[in-house]
Structure 1
């Protein structure tokens, strides 16, 4: 049964808020930071969780604060930023990085550029990151077909001979050494270019926190610069320099932005 304090917390959170929330104890220490597309619904799940760790956290929560971000991407970026700053004890105890699998570029002995799905290695920079192996494998199958790459080279079809796609004529024979490495590798490089953050300046327009407001994330020359909010028309009524809150470009922000752009690209196809 919920304590009166937790019931009171739930009753004071508006419905359908997308943003970041903070569990705070009586001394003002931040215990946990999370993000949700519906903060009140997510808090309800937290407060009805009966695991020992969840109960321990519930017993320490004195108040919940939140920031309305208006959209999921900006909420994810803000959550990542705040966890690094505050290092809440329950975030460290309950989870590591949300991205556990990565897509890496590896040269084969024959000189072909292979795309390999492996567990995230902090010492290597992945091309793309995924929350689950199944998600990464599904994506790798899709891009292998889209760019006419070889399932065998990409580790999707163990075989001593040709891959399955070769029989369908969607693989050009790299698995048998029939396709020149430079021709094959050009398509791999095209894929890498397509999934990289755009090198030109780019703005990602998103939902705002209120009616008539928009959110915007700024990428300059492949670097994440920050985000902000505006009303009216961008560049006509509002200049970017007046609204963008500068943020740190790091590995996590790059992963979040690449994942967002990957999903947008998949939806558009």
Structure 2
């Protein structure tokens, strides 16, 4: 649990500043579950340059509560939380100083979004809150007011959590919460109760915060409950070692599958066997025969030849090729599905125009094959696959540039993504490899995304 906050002060000498405004959002890693904001009477004058910066003046604070009047609420909303702020050392120091004046020792672990941004978002033009969120397309109202800056920091932290593919933030948070606490095995039911019944990826961590299992599901809660109620050897070992379960909602199965695949390879959790298996065994390729016709062929996927698309097994490939051949009025004989020496089966029912007997010219036949290839392969294409997001007012985007998978991201429906540079800034980069290509192509063969947005190709270097 995180307490994301922003504080405005009077300015002045070091450790003599007073708080003029505070905003705190309690955030569970996915949604805001509690919030508090208030002007505060610092009982001292505000520096003129601060008045110009924030718009908060002495008259506005005359009847505002003093710090001791809101101290209890601040303690309650931050209890058991990691403090998160943009330049967290400043906000933590200011709070600790105010509580010291009350004779209370205020101690909280903290994370700084400046440091996290520098690590997870390298090469940004600036890491000041205003310029950074503007570069990322995050809305920011009431700049230099606590509530506006804290809201923007929540959105920034949510983006950083998505960018943190190595799970450093989550692991560090678990370790911080574990410091100095008695090592007790948690009740598995308590873990399950905190999980959502939604699509996403889940991560099981041991006592040290290390990921020991990664999975994906349409219903995270239901799937984890199955892990905890199964009685096989692997499940019993998981039940004994799991300390906590974290999760990431993805909004749709495609992103869940992509995230699971890439993170299984990156983290290599000891109880996950899925990441060690090949996702596909066969592929669809093309060759021009001696008569000039393009033939589609099923071959073992050994990496030696460029694939049009890939399949989990031979039977899936064969079934798909039958469908492709029929839907595009192609020839079963040319595609290796009919071993006849005469006209193919589709020719007999007038759904093949006779390429098998050279009655149709290669030019006309090949035009249909090439149209199929253009519509069903992203080779050399740049597109954005738009689909459902994690919330009702959100959409997901998968970016493909020049046929290569770049990554995924999420954006608000209130925000247009027609600016390619802003689109790239919200994208969490992921490795482009044969597995990710297979996952995307397999998904699109069986499912429809909400929209496929064609982009201008990236110029070759």
Q: Which sits farther off after the overlay, 201-210 or 177-186?
A: 177-186
Give the 5 Å matches for 1:231-246: 231=412, 232-235=414-417, 239-246=422-429
Spell out, residue by residue over 1:97-137, the C-alpha distance to the aligned partner (whole angstroms, 9 max, x if none): 33343222244455533222344323333211233444433
Kindly name which structure, 1 or 2, has the bigger radius of gyration based on alpha carbons: 2
- In the alignment, structure 1 residue 152 sits paired with structure 2 residue 341: no
- In the alignment, structure 1 residue 89 sits paired with structure 2 residue 270: yes
How far did 1:207 drift?
Answer: 1.8
> RMSD of the alignment, in Å?
3.1
| Equivalent-residue separation in structure 2 for 1:123 and 1:55 (angstroms) | 42
The answer to whether the 8 Å contact 2:264/2:275 transfers is: no
| Equivalent-residue separation in structure 2 for 1:9 and 1:63 (angstroms) | 7
- The number of residues matched between the two structures is 265
1:6 to 171, 183, 188: 188
| Equivalent-residue separation in structure 1 for 2:349 and 2:449 (angstroms) | 23
The answer to whether the 8 Å contact 2:205/2:212 transfers is: yes
Give the 5 Å matches for 1:211-230: 211-230=392-411
Aligned twin of 2:312:
131
Q: Which sits farther off after the overlay, 50-59 or 213-222?
A: 50-59
Q: Which sits farther off after the overlay, 123-132 or 50-59?
A: 50-59
Q: Given the two structures, how large is their TM-score scaled by the length of structure 2?
A: 0.51
How far did 1:139 drift?
Answer: 2.1
- In the alignment, structure 1 residue 251 sits paired with structure 2 residue 416: no
How far did 1:43 drift?
Answer: 1.5
Q: Which sits farther off after the overlay, 259-268 or 38-47?
A: 259-268
Aligned twin of 2:252:
71
Q: Which sits farther off after the overlay, 51-60 or 78-87?
A: 51-60
For the residue of structure 1 that corresponds to 2:340, the secondary structure is coil
Aligned twin of 1:191:
372
Spell out, residue by residue over 1:113-165, the C-alpha distance to the aligned partner (whole angstroms, 9 max, x if none): 32223443233332112334444333212210122111122222232322111
Q: Which has the higher contact order (CA 8 A, sep 6+)?
A: 1
Task: Note closer, same or farther for the CA distance 1:11–1:189 as it changes in structure 2 (3 Å cut).
Answer: same
How far did 1:47 drift?
Answer: 3.0
For the residue of structure 2 that corresponds to 1:83, the secondary structure is helix
For the residue of structure 2 that corresponds to 1:192, the secondary structure is helix
2:209 to 21, 28, 41: 28
- In the alignment, structure 1 residue 163 sits paired with structure 2 residue 348: no
Task: Note closer, same or farther for the CA distance 1:134–1:41 as it changes in structure 2 (3 Å cut).
Answer: farther
Q: Given the two structures, how large is their TM-score scaled by the length of structure 1?
A: 0.82
For the residue of structure 2 that corresponds to 1:89, the secondary structure is coil
The answer to whether the 8 Å contact 1:234/1:240 transfers is: no
Task: Note closer, same or farther for the CA distance 1:208–1:105 as it changes in structure 2 (3 Å cut).
Answer: same
| Equivalent-residue separation in structure 2 for 1:170 and 1:179 (angstroms) | 12
For the residue of structure 2 that corresponds to 1:90, the secondary structure is coil
Aligned twin of 2:35:
none
The answer to whether the 8 Å contact 2:196/2:219 transfers is: no
Task: Note closer, same or farther for the CA distance 1:236–1:173 as it changes in structure 2 (3 Å cut).
Answer: closer
